[in-house]
Amino acid sequence: MKICFVCGHFYEKERMSFGPYPLIYNIIKEISKKHEVFVLASGWPKRPSEEIIDGIKVYRTPSINFRIEKENIISLGLFGLPIILREKPDVINSQGFDGALLFKLLNLTGSKTKKILSVKSILKARLNKYDAKITKVKDKILITGQLNFEQMAAHNSDYFVVQSNYAKKELLELMEVNPKKLNLIYNGVNCELFKPTKNKNKQKALFFAGGTDTIRKGADLFFNSFIKLKKQFPELKAIVMGAKNAGSFKELFKKNKIPEKDITFIERVSNPELPKYINLTDLVVFPSRHETFGTVIAEAMACGKPVIGSDSSAIPEVIGNTGFLFKTNDSIDLTNKIKKLLKNSKKIKELGVKARKKACAEFNIKKTIIDYEALFKKVLK
């Protein structure tokens, strides 16, 4: 079986250690051990147009800059088409919407190659959830372009991968695709990397991975709750991943006399380093307003940490009965739920054991890879 993965960003393992890329890298790497695999990515001329990365053949299309931020989709379509027609893969899997134009052009040529779209997050769904008001002309143009590309990808794909039942429902509502073409494959976590370690830190601490993003990740909810909790738990600390400093929240902390040393801001760390920081805390707070999975939740659960998350989108599906849910946008409810757990170390431990068990059974990277390989075989029958 010959498989092409379309992924705008693909580099050595060390450079694929952030955001969604560890999962993408692991899927491609493991599938390549059993099948003939090549990757279609952007990045030329800074990188060679053809190269071998960690044993995987990579074809690179030009990195062009029209200042519209959708160059990957255009480049992968226009310059990727002749590569696909030459290589003749049995299956093409686009990780995200990068393959939108390519899929459309392939259909126009009459190509019979099976095209699978792995849907990560749909812009229209996020806009609906945030009730965002877009005023800048450039932003309106970019959003319109992205919405059109997402529809293009959906209309020109043969099969789809969604990462939660919630994501499946969302795709059916917004894209009007054939439900028989949808395949649920949960995001996978490396349970050998993300595992519990003994926390030598005697002070109570919370982990939050949303930086200072108040729109999607709910940083406003987390920081307001943290301030309230400090009154009852003066020793409480926090590790905040995704921002190098307090940003717009600096004045809020100053006004409420929150010492800078009580919140450790870390802009980002590589995937192998992340478990160390999660394991320095007692529980993980995930007040996001919209997620189609929430990989940090599964990573925290694999580390044996209970997660307190909003009752929004796919978050309840991932947490299950291994943590607490609070009413989305309700910082008082969030504060009460955190307080309840901080007062009960026995409950934290109990939920942590259940969390790891669920994560390693349902969200294990090994299962994700097996499911992808099975899907590739299925679509060729």
Least confident of 130-134, 295-299, 346-350: 130-134
Residue type at 90 in one-letter notation: D
Mean pLDDT computed over 160-188 = 96
What was the pLDDT predicted at 190? 96
Percent of the chain exceeding pLDDT 90 equals: 82
Mean pLDDT computed over 196-211 = 87
What was the pLDDT predicted at 199? 74
Which residue in 291, 370, 374, 276 sits closest to 26, CA to CA? 370
Backbone torsions φ then ψ of 255, nearest 5 degrees: -60, -35
Contact 70, 89 (CB under 8 A): no
Q: What does the block give as tokens for 82?
A: 């002749």
Mean pLDDT computed over 330-355 = 97
Taking CB atoms within 8 Å and a gap of at least 24, the contacts of 291-296 are 291/315, 292/119, 292/120, 292/121, 292/122, 292/125, 292/162, 292/163, 292/164, 292/166, 292/167, 292/170, 293/163, 293/164, 293/167, 293/186, 293/187, 293/318, 294/318, 295/20, 295/23, 295/187, 295/189, 296/209
Contact 188, 26 (CB under 8 A): yes
What was the pLDDT predicted at 132? 58
Up-side HSE of residue 350: CA atoms within 13 Å toward CB? 7
Q: What does the block give as tokens for 108?
A: 């126009």
What was the pLDDT predicted at 56? 97
Q: What does pTM read for this prediction?
A: 0.93
Q: Name the pLDDT band for 209 (thresholds 50, 70, 90).
A: very high
What share of residues in the chain are helix, strand, coil (percent, to 5)?
Answer: 45, 20, 35
Q: What does the block give as tokens for 219?
A: 């940083």
Domains and CATH numbers, the chain: 2-188+365-379 (3.40.50.2000), 205-362 (3.40.50.2000)
pLDDT at 215 over 90: no
Cis peptide before 22 (omega within 30 of 0): no
Give the number of other Cβ atoms within 10 Å of residue 235's Cβ: 10
Q: Phi-psi region for residue 372, left (φ > 0), alpha (ψ -120 to 50) or beta?
A: alpha
CA–CA distances in Å: residue 37 to residues 57, 151, 191: 7, 27, 25
Please tell me which residue, 271 or 135, carries the higher pLDDT value. Answer: 271
Reduced to 3 states, what is the DSSP secondary structure of residue 239?
strand
pLDDT at 129 over 80: no
Report the DSSP pairing between strands 324-326 and 36-44.
unpaired
Collect all residues with Cβ–Cβ distance below 8 Å to 188 and sequence separation of at least 6: 23, 26, 27, 363, 364, 365, 366, 367, 368, 369
CA distance 316 to 320: 6
* pLDDT tens, residue by residue, 221-241: 999 999 999 999 999 999 999
Reduced to 3 states, what is the DSSP secondary structure of residue 26?
helix
Mean pLDDT computed over 284-310 = 97
Q: Name the pLDDT band for 68 (thresholds 50, 70, 90).
A: very low
Which residue in 291, 375, 237, 315 sits closest to 120, CA to CA? 291
* pLDDT tens, residue by residue, 244-262: 999 999 999 999 999 989 9
Mean pLDDT of the chain: 93
pLDDT at 171 over 80: yes
CA distance 122 to 125: 5
